[in-house]
Chain A
């Protein structure tokens, strides 16, 4: 096995190629947006892409929405550095889709219209429930959005081989401006097509690199693992659990807590939930989740090959480019290595291709998140809470577009100073809030007749506040030396970094408490209506007719 040496940064010549490919990605996505804008006429077009995507198309878009740069670069990087333990995130991320498939996707498709709150508001008092659901939708989406944008800043810098704070800020502003354009002009139809294109690019790029990596080992997995283990300097323990998680009892409970948030969070992520409204019926919603499971599963299996391939073929020791980037450049550098090495044309082309794929990935995910927040603001808060009389569809859509600009601006404003925040932490927090605040309310609403307005409001705010408060007083924020966000003082009292194991049960408990304390029984009367509609699709919103 020859060992490939990898330079610390991309060569200037390659940079031109990378930038041209980035420009191509931007041009294609802007063209899609312009094309989609000419088809957007009604609210159902803007919010739900006319509900006319097929199961397979939406499955690709769901996968495109879900496989963020954090999973593409982050997971393979974690495997490259920590071996087997880096793989654990992806298992939770995948199994989570069974919750969405069996319990949420179809029922939500049948009983909601545009936002997560629609489904709750079906049998509850509009104002309190929509306010609560919109709050948690926007909070979860902003955490997730920040993670992507902070990642984009440092990532593009790394991929272009430029280290400058000014460039990072410029990239964040550019990504933010693009996502505002996609969302305000293209709506759900444009965003969905951007995600489909991204999913195809990402899958293709990953298949190529995986094939080349496996080719180097004659498709012998054991050889690949063995080289990774010996090259990592950690030997066989590189292939075993324990390098990253569960070092002591606190660590073990923390890992369990993370596992719970990952597996229960997906079905409560608002930007995933609203994707089910883009198909004509529940059968297509089911098909989209099946497609998504297939694509995401195969993708995560390939990240295994990428991660161990990077460990086997690249320098991952302390001080190396891979180690310094916390693993984030493992995949791009691996692409360069299997393409023929740093000085080869093949290497340069593959590196630039993977960098462009990563860029497309970031753009598609941030667009989905901005659309979700803007839809919820306009449809839930403005139309049903803020506005004194019911606005016309046109007025509501204008608000949605302005909201997209506002949310985009807020995200840019927060992301620039948030450069130091840990990306994985922001993503894990978004999952924890989704699992603690959104999932209990959704499940209770669908399956528990007695559930009522105060139960919904309690479970959403209760789950949201417990997850956020526990994180604020966790070692992630203070008291863990250099690893904490705040290094000066220590005010932590919650021992775990992941709040899920406490905040998820609390979310459910608050739902039960709120329901019984609220005493309001009016929402029971419409439960039979909701269950008929959710299970049979009777009266559900159909595809738009043009």
Chain B
């Protein structure tokens, strides 16, 4: 087949998928997860950086009689939140994004064959 013809056929198939209601839903779900969580983890991280700079008294506070202080706990919580958000996103993507994406992918293949 001529390269130009293939290109046009693919473009039509992409257009068809782009106009599908499922694609709008996929986009909506992706954005609704990614935007708030990105803002949240960036704010949480910058708060940690800022506290290291400007909240030394708070950070230096020791827990009980131990050598463990707020600064260390705050740092470790960054690890915990990163692990959690990564797991949450994986679960969300597997359940809410992948099924829609697979359906749309199949639609693209069907459209290309037309």
Is the Cβ of A240 less than 8 Å from the Cβ of B56?
yes
Contacts of A229 in B (CB 8 A): 67
Q: How many residues of A contact B (CB 8 A)?
A: 53
Is the Cβ of A94 less than 8 Å from the Cβ of B53?
no
CA distance A102 to B38 in the complex (A): 8
Is the Cβ of B38 less than 8 Å from the Cβ of A535?
no
Is the Cβ of B10 less than 8 Å from the Cβ of A97?
no
Contact among B26, B45, B54, B90 with A535 in the assembled complex (CB-CB below 8 Å):
B26
- A410 near B: Cβ within 8 Å? no
Beta-carbon nearest neighbor of B101 in chain A: A536
Contacts of A103 in B (CB 8 A): 34, 38
Is the Cβ of A221 less than 8 Å from the Cβ of B68?
yes
Task: Mark the stretch among A132-140, A353-361, A526-534 that contacts chain B.
Answer: A526-534
Contact among A91, A102, A289 with B78 in the assembled complex (CB-CB below 8 Å):
A91
Contacts of B98 in A (CB 8 A): 283
Q: How many residues of B contact A (CB 8 A)?
A: 56
Main SS class of interface, B: helix
Is the Cβ of A289 less than 8 Å from the Cβ of B86?
yes
Number of A-B residue pairs, CB cutoff 8 Å, is 154
Is the Cβ of B82 less than 8 Å from the Cβ of A97?
yes
Which residues of B (14-38) have their CB < 8 Å from a CB of A?
A: 14-15, 17-18, 23, 26-27, 30, 33-34, 37-38
Main SS class of interface, A: helix
Distance from B65 Cβ to chain A, minimum over Cβ atoms (Å): 9
Is the Cβ of B86 less than 8 Å from the Cβ of A94?
no
CA distance A286 to B33 in the complex (A): 15
Is the Cβ of A532 less than 8 Å from the Cβ of B14?
yes
Is the Cβ of A101 less than 8 Å from the Cβ of B89?
yes
Q: A533-B14, A539-B14 known; A255 and B27 CB under 8 Å?
A: no
Contact among A255, A300, A533 with B79 in the assembled complex (CB-CB below 8 Å):
A300
Is the Cβ of A222 less than 8 Å from the Cβ of B68?
yes
- A263 near B: Cβ within 8 Å? yes
Beta-carbon nearest neighbor of A230 in chain B: B67
Contacts of B72 in A (CB 8 A): 84, 225, 239
Is the Cβ of B68 less than 8 Å from the Cβ of A95?
no
Is the Cβ of A240 less than 8 Å from the Cβ of B69?
yes
Residue in A246, A297, A535, A538 with the greatest tally of chain B CB atoms within 10 Å: A538
Contact among A88, A221, A239 with B52 in the assembled complex (CB-CB below 8 Å):
A88
Scan A296-328; emit 1 where CB is below 8 A from any B CB, else 0. 010011000000000000000000000000000
Is the Cβ of B53 less than 8 Å from the Cβ of A240?
no
Distance from B70 Cβ to chain A, minimum over Cβ atoms (Å): 9
Contacts of B76 in A (CB 8 A): 301
- A290 near B: Cβ within 8 Å? yes
Contacts of A528 in B (CB 8 A): 14-15, 18
Q: Which 10 A-B pairs have the closest CB atoms?
A: A538-B108, A225-B67, A222-B66, A252-B53, A259-B49, A529-B14, A536-B104, A528-B18, A226-B67, A241-B52
Q: Which A residues fall within an 8 A CB radius of B?
A: 84, 87-88, 91-92, 94-95, 97-99, 101-103, 106, 221-223, 225-226, 229, 236, 239-242, 245-246, 252, 255-256, 259, 263, 282-283, 286-287, 289-290, 293-294, 297, 300-301, 528-529, 531-533, 535-539
Q: Which B residues fall within an 8 A CB radius of A?
A: 10-11, 13-15, 17-18, 23, 26-27, 30, 33-34, 37-38, 41-42, 45-46, 48-50, 52-54, 56, 59-60, 62, 66-69, 71-72, 75-76, 78-79, 82-83, 85-87, 89-90, 93-94, 97-98, 100-101, 104-105, 108-109
